[in-house]
């Protein structure tokens, strides 16, 4: 749980710093992938390059559908959109981390 909160905080900082810049939501996708690999290792799973590649493709697809579209649209609404972008990023990373943590603890 602590690990997920740390990554959620990092995602919030990244989203806040890069909010006005379009296209930077890919940084969050990289953070999400790194978080999943870290959670897997913490729970004793050994992910090979194949699994990491599949995970990266799945996260990128899910992230593109859910997060990136929302974040990019919010980028064009000054101030309010930038604040909402941080909230969306934090919520997405938190729930992704919690789901991954539940999965890897089995």
Convert the pLDDT of each residue in 49-59 to its tens digit. 887 777 777 77
pLDDT at 71 over 70: no
**Alpha carbon distance 101, 66 (integer Å):** 20
pLDDT confidence band for 4 (50 / 70 / 90): very high
The pLDDT value given to residue 94: 93
Q: What is the pTM of this model?
A: 0.77
Question: For 68-77, which contacts have Cβ atoms below 8 Å and span 24 or more sequence positions?
Answer: 68/25, 68/26, 68/29, 71/15, 71/25, 71/28, 72/22, 72/23, 72/25, 75/19, 75/20, 75/21, 75/22, 76/22
Overall size of the chain counted in residues: 106
At residue 68 the predicted structure's pLDDT band, cuts being 50, 70 and 90, is: low
Token pair for residue 78?
Answer: 């000054």
Which residue segment(s) compose the domain that 42 sits in? Answer: 2-104
- In the chain, how many domains are there? 1
67 pLDDT tier (thresholds 50, 70, 90): low
> Of 93, 91, 106, 90, nearest to 40 (Cα)?
106
């Amino acid at each position: 749980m602590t690990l997920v909160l740390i990554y959620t905080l990092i995602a919030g900082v990244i989203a806040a710093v890069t909010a006005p810049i379009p296209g930077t939501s890919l940084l969050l996708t990289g953070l999400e992938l790194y978080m999943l690999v870290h959670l897997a290792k913490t729970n004793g799973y050994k992910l090979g390059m194949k699994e990491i590649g599949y995970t990266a493709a799945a996260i990128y697809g899910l992230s593109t559908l859910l997060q990136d579209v929302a974040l990019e649209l919010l980028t064009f609404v000054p101030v309010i959109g930038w604040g909402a972008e941080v909230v969306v990023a934090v919520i997405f990373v938190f729930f992704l981390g919690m789901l991954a943590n539940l999965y890897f603890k089995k």
